[in-house]
Every structure is written in C-alpha cells, then in structure tokens.
Amino acid sequence: MHQESPIQRRKSTQIMVGNVPVGGDAPISVQSMTNTRTTDVEATVAQIQAIERAGADIVRVSVPTMEAAEAFRLIKQQTNIPLVADIHFDYRIALKVAEYGVDCLRINPGNIGHEDRIRAVVDCARDKNIPIRIGVNAGSLEREIQEKYGEPTPAALVESAMRHVDILDRLNFDQFKVSVKASDVFLAVESYRQLAQQIVQPLHLGITEAGGARAGAVKSAIGLGMLLSEGIGDTLRVSLAADPVEEVKVGFDILKSLRIRARGINFIACPSCSRQEFDVINTVNALEQRLEDVITPMDVSIIGCVVNGPGEALVSDLGLAGSNRKSGFYIDGKRQKERLDNTDLVNLLETRIRQQIAMRAQRIDVKETDVE
C-alpha cells in the first residue's frame, strides 16, 4: 500500500560513514547524538545501543578531551553502529580517535589552528578513509563574520561553511558533508538552500537546539520537512532536549510523512469524536508502545467509526473501522469476515499485525529461495 515519494532529490556525491552510504542515491540516514559523559563508557555504550535499536544509522559522540578520546576507544570496541566524533579546536584529539577507528570526524578545519595541523588531520582522514563533517552553527560563527553581518544570516552561515570547504578543496579532500544549522527555522532553511547551490557534497540537515520533545519535534518537522520536500538533504538529526531515542523516532516519522523512507508502522488514526465506537486514542498509544520493535514498513489505519474507517482501510495494509461492539477488520484493503471485539482491540490488533509481518517475511524468504 506504500506510494512512491514525488520528491526529486538534489544530486550529490556519496561518502561512506563506516558502512553507511551518505549522499548520492543512498537512503536519507537518520542520526542522533549521545548526551552521556563520554568518559562514562558503560553509560555511553548503553545509550548508543538504545539509539541503534530505535533504528538510527549513525551516532555522534562528543570527544572534548584526550581522556574522552581514550574512553572512545573502549566505546568503539563495544558498539557496531558507525560513530562520529564531535571535536572542536584540538587537532590531536582528531588524530587519536582516527587511530581508534572513528567512522567520521565532525571538525571544522578552520578552527583547528595552523595549516600544518589542518593538513595532519586531513592527511590522516585520507589515509584511513574517514570522511569529515563541516558543522556550522548560527550560535558559534567566527568573530569576523559576526562583525561583518551583525547577526546570523543565511549569507553569514554559508560564508562560514565555504571557508572550511575551501580549505578542504585546497588540500584536495572531497570526502566531506556539511551542515549549516540554526535554531530559527527560516534561517536554517534558507542557509541550506543557498549552500545546496554551491557544493555537490552531501548535506547534513538539522534545526539545532530545537527545544523539548514536543516543540522541538514540531520545529524540526517544519524546517526539515521544507528542505526534504525540495529534495535537499542526505542525512539528518532531530535535536531535542530529550532522550536521543526520541530524536530517532521523530526523524523517521518525518521521513515517513514525506514517503521518503519507511521504517516501522505508520499509524493512521482519527483524533476521535462522539461517533467513535471504541477508545481510539488509548488504543493507538498502546499499540505504538507495544510495536516499537517492528521495523517492517506497514500502514495501519485505526478509525473509530464507519464514516472514514472503510475508506482509510481500503488503502492500508491493515485497517480497522469502528462499529458497535465489534469493528470491521481489513487486510490489504479487503474486508475480512472476522470482526474484532471492541473490548480487546489492543491485544487482537497486536496479534494480527505481528501475524501479517511474519507472513510477509515468509513470502520474502520464499521468493529469495526461488531466485537461488
């Protein structure tokens, strides 16, 4: 029941962050960042693993000191997902985490000092096939750019980004991606639009410091949604003052809404009204929690009455149309003889959904066996 997205992606080159392709025709990857102290290896590893279970493709870890770099070595040994080291100013930390197997360096070349230090990092990255992310933030622009523009503007963010890009160009290094983040939606969006016209490298999207779980999700959905709908963006992070796992969920929800990338269940649910024949809100909330482990793309419509229920069910993988005492149940748009008891919908729907996932997996296995 899934439809192709009508969005035409901006053409970009492709880099590899560990085993994850970024840019080109690769799926738009979803990232998050740990908020534990990196020197607390056990807590950081546990959080990375939780982020990975939520479906993230890449995780960023702050490495502010050499002590943190030594902790990173242990963290890298205990995790599988590609890791990006977030580093500011000290080129020696970049060299150390490169030695320890980092998959990407988030470091702005212009901020790490003399040319010989920049060259040392770039040569190391080239030798070890490690890409670099240039990360420009409206809140930390160079002093001369702040003085030139007076306040963060799209032109200011892009000029800052291009300074770093020019350094890598001069050193003949093209394995990089760029971000120009701001907490203001319009500032971030216009900055990305302008930058997208000046470089061919992948763009890492984000509305930085977006806020708490609810407000930050809304702000990110608007800003990232605007850019993604224009075909801009190759990887993204939703920045929330919340559990990083929530960032991953919101990121995938944004991609699902634009039909760019499907992962897990897309619940189509009515806001409910006095026509509802069962408690729609609690049913959907319970199912979302129970089925968080599902990664198979699936559209499930849960509508509380027969006004919109049948229509939504016809275009869903599984559908429920509320009716008195027992509700109509649909699979692949076809109404089933079975009707589901309204007093036990959560259990019944969870069972039916998992049955369909298992059947689909079995069909895929059969097809692969036929091919072999």
Annotated binding site for [4Fe-4S] cluster: 270, 273, 305, 312
Max Cα separation, the chain?
75
Binding residues: 270, 273, 305, 312
**Angle at CA of residue 180, ends 51 and 263, nearest 5°:** 35
* CA gap 227, 217 in Å, rounded: 15
Burial-class residue 117 by CB neighbours within 10 Å (0-12, 13-18, 19+). middle
Instruction: Give SS3 for 320.
Output: strand
Residue 127 to residues 17, 18, 70, 89, Cα–Cα distance (Å): 15, 14, 21, 21
Residue 357 to residues 39, 121, 298, 344, 352, Cα–Cα distance (Å): 40, 47, 9, 20, 9
Nearest to 237 by CA among 227, 226, 222, 252: 252
